[in-house]
């Protein structure tokens, strides 16, 4: 074997401290070292040309480069090797600058330390194997779960780039939370109007044909991995053909059955066939079979007969279907819900009338809501005073540790809306902390604080607030902390912490996507990769990852689309890094310890053969399974036991 050693002087950075001649004398004495060459800056253009030409001429079997940190130039030199026609993995770098020359006081000892390290590298590099990047076909299309702001933005971005998107939404409507809000902070825009353009684009825009929208649908199974997921989707029946339906609502009027409307938080009733709310898109009603009398055995077909578009628009024979789709990536945009206010009994939620959550109040304010936008107490009168409780369950180790970052802003939005609807009504804000981030939030805050009808009180802990029934249907709010205020209000609005949506747990389990201690889907890295999950090819957008406002959710939707666009492209193969683990079937005893230690679920178990197998696409090459395997059946490419042991031996020889 012919080993070539290159020593970079790095100008004077290395050579001034480590005498190349001394190193040369020690290293050339080792077996198989064909030559030892010094150069000034191997990473410079001249240096790279020198290295390339020299490799072509001398044709060594293995190369050792003693220079700076491999974190600086390992890739540079690997590319030079490849250009010179050598397998780039047949090289080992030795860090004699950052870890020797720059940190050793004594020149003699620096030279000795460099020699030791180079000896280790020589011993190791002998065992290096030529490794190849593998390539794999990948599907450039994506599945998006959740058609709220984040999911919609991601879908449109991908569709505009020509990607096919399967957009799965479990409710009959798209638009997520904000389509239920009459106005949005900070600029008091109308929620449905703002989203209208995006919803319209998704349904009938220029790129709509790239989006397969499945409402009333749920993902029931996901198999495969990045680039090649196979997903099964349960399409629940709507019983109304969305293509033929014109959304006139004739079918609704005659329907004899009704139930609480969950889209209005149960504050009013809807028919068995109905829209979730006026203006909901897609513009077609659906039948709720739990309510419809036909499903209770009656021969009712009022809706079917009242349809002006013909008898087959309403179709009682519609059945659940299981659809299978192939996608390269999965985007989770499943949104959030609110912390359960009954967990804080002192607030009276669920017991006292006129105590509402913020979401309920949003619907009350909405012109498409249960009261068509009229704010009234249970007695039917306009409230003379309304208390808004901020931070319900937030910044509180007994409930939720975090601040959701949006509640103060919508609380001041409420203030504004109350003021315009009921100019005489007093508004009391009770807050633990006021949080109004960003460059736009302040105006609603100033508006509220300058309004003489609004008063702000601070409380210490949510437990220091007690809400009880007062006289004539009013509520008494007692603050036992700080200013010890007691106020009377006819209506109370609670602003609870944002929490992950119901079903996140099952979805996370299905995709093997981990969740943080609050139940939100966990990001790969809080700052670098907040839109990637820890499972390759599964991305996170919107409030399923963390509490955030609409702006951030939209941005994260774009971000996830970015990952798909750059990572997967038509005709582009997936490159698989060769530094992965490989299992020797012969030696694998089937104990499955490797499966339990792999952080990426990259190891599967072949039940028939009773052997573990590594999926090289998912493997990140950490080597934890390699050292964990009791049978020594796993090899960590480029970091094999033999290579590491040889390095240790070489150093200590």
Q: Which is nearer to other proteins, 171 or 533 (CB)?
A: 533
CA angle, 75 then 530 then 72, to 5°: 15
* Least separation in angstroms between CB 193 and other proteins: 43
CA distance 182 to 417: 10
Q: Which is nearer to other proteins, 279 or 636 (CB)?
A: 636
Check residue 32 and give left, alpha or beta (phi > 0: left; psi -120 to 50: alpha).
left
Nearest CA-CA partner of 148 in 494, 420, 548, 517: 548
| SS3 at position 494 | strand
- Helix segments in 59-214, DSSP class H: 70-83, 107-125, 149-160, 191-204
The token duo for 546 is 């963390």
Q: Which residues bind other proteins (CB under 8 A)?
A: 69-71, 95, 97-100, 102-106, 109-110, 112-113, 116-117, 120, 534, 579, 597, 599-600, 620-624, 626-628, 636, 639, 641, 644-645, 647-649, 651-653
* Least separation in angstroms between CB 513 and other proteins: 13
332-370 as b/e: b if 16+ CB within 10 A: bbbbbbbbebeebeebbbeebebbbbbbbbbbbbbebbb
Alpha-carbon distance values, 422 to 345, 381, 413, 467, 495 (Å): 29, 11, 14, 23, 20
Q: Which is nearer to other proteins, 221 or 516 (CB)?
A: 516
Q: Which is nearer to other proteins, 520 or 600 (CB)?
A: 600
Q: Rg of the chain's alpha carbons, rounded to an integer?
A: 33
* Least separation in angstroms between CB 483 and other proteins: 40
Q: Which is nearer to other proteins, 99 or 268 (CB)?
A: 99
CA distance 77 to 68: 11
572-593 as b/e: b if 16+ CB within 10 A: eebebebbbbbbeeeebeeeeb
Q: Which is nearer to other proteins, 51 or 622 (CB)?
A: 622
Q: Which is nearer to other proteins, 113 or 163 (CB)?
A: 113
Q: Which is nearer to other proteins, 460 or 516 (CB)?
A: 516
* Least separation in angstroms between CB 575 and other proteins: 18
* Least separation in angstroms between CB 162 and other proteins: 34
* Least separation in angstroms between CB 529 and other proteins: 12
CA distance 73 to 92: 11
Q: What is the DSSP letter of 261?
A: -
Q: Which is nearer to other proteins, 315 or 624 (CB)?
A: 624
How would you classify the pairing of strands 574-576 and 134-136? antiparallel
* Least separation in angstroms between CB 114 and other proteins: 9
CA distance 636 to 204: 51
CA dihedral 137, 141, 143, 149 (to 10 degrees): 140
Q: Which is nearer to other proteins, 568 or 626 (CB)?
A: 626
* Least separation in angstroms between CB 651 and other proteins: 5
Backbone angles phi, psi at 183, to 5 degrees: -135, 155
* Least separation in angstroms between CB 578 and other proteins: 13
* Least separation in angstroms between CB 73 and other proteins: 12
């Amino acid at each position: 074997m012919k080993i070539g050693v290159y020593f970079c002087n790095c100008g004077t950075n290395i050579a001034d401290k480590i005498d190349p001649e001394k190193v040369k004398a020690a290293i050339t004495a080792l077996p198989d070292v064909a030559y030892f060459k010094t150069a000034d800056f191997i990473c410079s253009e001249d240096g790279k040309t020198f290295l390339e030409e020299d490799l072509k001429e001398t044709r060594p079997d293995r190369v050792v480069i003693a220079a700076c940190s491999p974190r600086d130039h390992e890739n540079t030199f690997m590319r030079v090797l490849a250009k010179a026609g050598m397998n780039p993995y047949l090289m080992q770098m030795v860090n004699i600058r950052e870890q020797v020359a720059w940190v050793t006081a004594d020149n003699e000892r620096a030279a000795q330390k460099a020699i030791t390290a180079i000896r280790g590298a020589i011993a190791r590099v002998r065992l290096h194997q030529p490794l190849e990047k593998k390539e794999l076909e990948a599907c450039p299309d994506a599945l998006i779960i959740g058609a709220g702001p984040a999911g919609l933005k991601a879908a449109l971005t991908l569709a505009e780039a020509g990607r096919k998107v399967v957009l799965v939404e479990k409710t009959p409507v798209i638009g997520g939370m904000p389509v239920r809000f009459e106005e949005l902070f900070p600029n008091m825009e109308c929620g449905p109007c703002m989203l209208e353009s995006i919803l319209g684009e998704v349904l009938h825009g220029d790129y709509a044909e790239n989006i397969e929208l499945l409402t009333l649908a749920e993902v029931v199974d996901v198999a495969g991995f990045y680039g090649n997921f196979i997903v099964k989707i349960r399409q629940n029946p709507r019983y109304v053909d969305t293509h033929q339906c014109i959304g006139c609502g004739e079918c609704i009027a005659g329907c004899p059955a009704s139930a609480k409307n969950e889209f209005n938080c149960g504050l009013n009733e809807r028919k068995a066939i109905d829209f979730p709310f006026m203006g909901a898109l897609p513009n077609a009603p659906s039948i709720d079979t739990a309510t419809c009398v036909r499903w209770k055995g009656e021969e009712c077909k009022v809706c079917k007969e009242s349809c002006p578009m013909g008898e087959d628009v309403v179709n009682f024979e519609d059945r659940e279907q299981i659809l299978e789709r192939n996608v390269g990536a999965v985007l989770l945009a499943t949104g959030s819900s609110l912390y359960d206010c009954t967990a804080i009994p002192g607030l009276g939620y669920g017991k006292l009338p006129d105590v509402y959550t913020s979401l309920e109040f949003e619907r009350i304010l909405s012109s498409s809501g249960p009261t068509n936008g009229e704010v009234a107490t249970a007695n039917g009168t306009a409230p003379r005073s309304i208390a808004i409780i901020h931070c319900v369950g937030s910044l509180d180790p007994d409930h939720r540790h975090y601040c959701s970052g949006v509640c103060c802003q919508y609380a001041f939005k409420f203030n504004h809306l109350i003021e315009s609807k009921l100019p005489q009504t007093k508004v009391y804000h009770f807050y633990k902390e006021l949080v109004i981030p960003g460059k736009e939030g302040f105006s609603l805050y100033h508006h509220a604080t300058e309004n003489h009808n609004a008063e702000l009180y601070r409380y210490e802990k949510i437990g220091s607030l007690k809400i009880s029934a007062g006289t004539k249907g009013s509520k008494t709010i007692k603050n036992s902390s700080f200013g010890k205020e007691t106020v009377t209000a006819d209506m109370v609005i609670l602003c609870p912490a944002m929490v992950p949506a119901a079903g996140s747990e099952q979805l996370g389990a299905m995709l093997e996507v981990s969740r943080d201690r609050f139940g939100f889907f966990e990001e790969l890295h809080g700052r670098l990769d907040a839109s990637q999950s820890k499972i390759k090819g599964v991305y996170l957008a919107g409030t399923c990852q963390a509490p955030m406002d609409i702006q951030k959710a939209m941005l994260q939707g774009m971000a996830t689309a970015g990952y798909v666009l750059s990572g997967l492209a038509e005709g582009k193969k997936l490159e698989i890094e060769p530094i992965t683990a490989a299992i020797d079937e012969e030696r694998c005893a089937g104990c499955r310890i490797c499966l339990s230690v792999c952080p990426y679920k990259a190891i599967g178990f072949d039940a028939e053969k009773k052997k573990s197998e590594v999926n090289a696409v998912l493997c990140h090459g950490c080597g934890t399974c390699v050292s964990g395997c009791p049978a020594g059946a796993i090899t960590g490419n480029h970091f094999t036991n033999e290579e590491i042991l040889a390095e240790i031996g070489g150093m200590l020889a």
